[in-house]
Structure 1
């Protein structure tokens, strides 16, 4: 389940930044997974679309290139660096998102403490109308 959008009581700049982080991380994750599938299916690197994909994602794989040092240059392979980057990108994005939205819960109304407080204040909905 993706993290919820920032709460309305957050400053506007933080809300925008958190949403941009989520969208950017999602796009990067999609590109990394496309690269992983393309390499696993031995996509032709002279194809222009694959060339663009590899060129863009190389920027994020270069720090992890040592994991792929014993892999063949061509053919069907599973790049360990790409796989690790595909795991680390969402984790890093979630950590940044949590830093930008410190009061956000995992889902709207998911906090049992918040629900208990609503009921005790008389703003809990149908349960308090009786």
Structure 2
């Protein structure tokens, strides 16, 4: 799933957020991003851009929405759902300062990343598995 929403800060006049959340359907975790904008036009412009990228459709034509292959489809909320989520309090300060510390030891994490980005190790493993990298999306 991929969910997008423009949120206006209740107490600050010139503060808007583009809230995006994505993940697998049924997965309680998922990921999210909260991007601040100083004007509604900036926020709306990014919303429209992301909507087109994710669905292959323009936002202004939602009544003419066409399902595209390998793109997200539009699911409209009914009036009850819109009202239910219209006045949800959000602690913006907590969201921006929230930091979850890693439980990994930094040396283990560094070693893992070094192995992960080691081109020679990647090339060696590709050669061992006899993969035809011509057909792979990344090289």
Aligning the two structures, in what range does the TM-score lie when normalised by the shorter sequence?
Answer: under 0.3
Higher relative contact order (CA 8 A, sep 6+): 1
TM-score scaled by length of structure 2: 0.25
The structure with the greater share of residues assigned to helix is 1
